[in-house]
Structures are given as structure tokens and as C-alpha cells.
Amino acid sequence: MLSTDQIRAMFEALNVELCRLDVLGEVGICGGAVMCLVFQSRSSTKDVDAIFEPTKEIREAAAVVAQQFALSDDWLNDSAKAFFLANTPRQDVMQFSHLRVWAPTAEYMLAMKCISARFDSHDRDDVEFLIRHLELTSKDEVFEIIAQFYPRQQVPAKTGFLVEEFLSS
């Protein structure tokens, strides 16, 4: 598991490596890393799900960081890239000389977590946290947020059941 402090240190090391390569990079984080770094709703996560540019150079730099921290090479991975939309609303998380790290807004994170519907993982707790954080009081409010980003047919049925469990109106 990666703590919030470790994730920050790894991004600092990634910046150092990008600086050494004379590359400017951008990383958009999602999932547990956002819950740790932005919302402080968790103390750790197993990896950092993200999208990043330039892809090849950041992968190479992340591999060096993995060696420095004795991590697996996929500590920074883009396995969740299918859930990012081209117009993802963003907030800055960290800015370094050669690296910018951003995260989706709370609304987008809620929509993304509901669409991924991996409720046997931390996603269930994350959805509940985000509903409280956004001060939502009805399932209709949750589905209005999801509809801002994803078509209704993309919302799994189990998302509806989970949201109903949290909000009965």
C-alpha cells in the first residue's frame, strides 16, 4: 500500500527524473490516489491510476522511480484511462518544475466511481464519502451528476442499487 506521503514523494522523484530527461509531463490521477491526496478520505492506496503525457517518457521515468522506491513497475498505471473523458473537469494537485499533477473534481470522481461500479473494492466507501462531501441528499441528485458526464445507458444497474442504499429518496 502507498501512503499519501509516499505518493507525494514518488511524484517529487518523478519530477526529478523528468527534469533529468528534460521533459515536461502531466499526470491526471484518479481513484485511490485522489481519495488520498485531494480528499484525505483514505490513508493509502495500492497504486496510482492515471492518464499521462508524454506517455513513453513518463513510463520510463516511472520505472526509475519504481526502482528507487522498490515498487512494482505499474505503481503508476493507465488502466483507468477509459473512464476519463476528453473534457474531464480538473483541479490542480501538485506543480513541480517538470511535472503537473491534476485530479478530476469531486463531481466527476463520483460519476467515474459510479460508472466503474467496482463496489467490492474501496469504490463503495469512496462513493459514500463523495455523496457526503458533495452534500447530496437524494439519488436523483447523484444521477444528475452522473448524467453530466456519462449517458444513462452506461450506468450499471448495480450503481442504482448502491446509491439507493445510501439515499432513500
pLDDT digits (tens, 9 = 90+) for 115-168: 887 777 788 899 999 999 999 999 999 999 999 999 888 889 889 888 888 886
| 23 and 47 inside one domain | yes
Total number of domains constituting the chain: 2
| 8 and 87 inside one domain | yes
Answer with the one of 84, 104, 124 that is the final residue of a domain. 104
pLDDT of residue 97: 98
- Does residue 77 come out as left (phi exceeding 0), alpha (psi in the -120 to 50 range) or beta? beta
| 13 and 60 inside one domain | yes
| 77 and 7 inside one domain | yes
Mean pLDDT score, 17-37: 96
| 97 and 63 inside one domain | yes
| 67 and 127 inside one domain | no
| 95 and 118 inside one domain | no
Answer with the one of 63, 80, 104 that is the final residue of a domain. 104
Distance between CA atoms of residues 122 and 92, nearest Å: 23
pLDDT of residue 165: 85
Distance between CA atoms of residues 53 and 86, nearest Å: 13
- Does residue 129 come out as left (phi exceeding 0), alpha (psi in the -120 to 50 range) or beta? alpha
| 76 and 8 inside one domain | yes
pTM for the whole structure: 0.91
Which tens digit of pLDDT belongs to each residue from 68-115?
999 999 999 998 888 788 889 999 999 999 999 999 999 999 999 998
- Residue ranges making up the domain that contains 64: 2-104
| 55 and 125 inside one domain | no
Answer with the one of 104, 130, 152 that is the final residue of a domain. 104
| 80 and 57 inside one domain | yes
| 21 and 94 inside one domain | yes
Cell numbers at residue 114, please? 459510479
> Under a CB-based contact definition with an 8 Å cutoff, are residues 25 and 18 in contact?
yes
| 61 and 80 inside one domain | yes
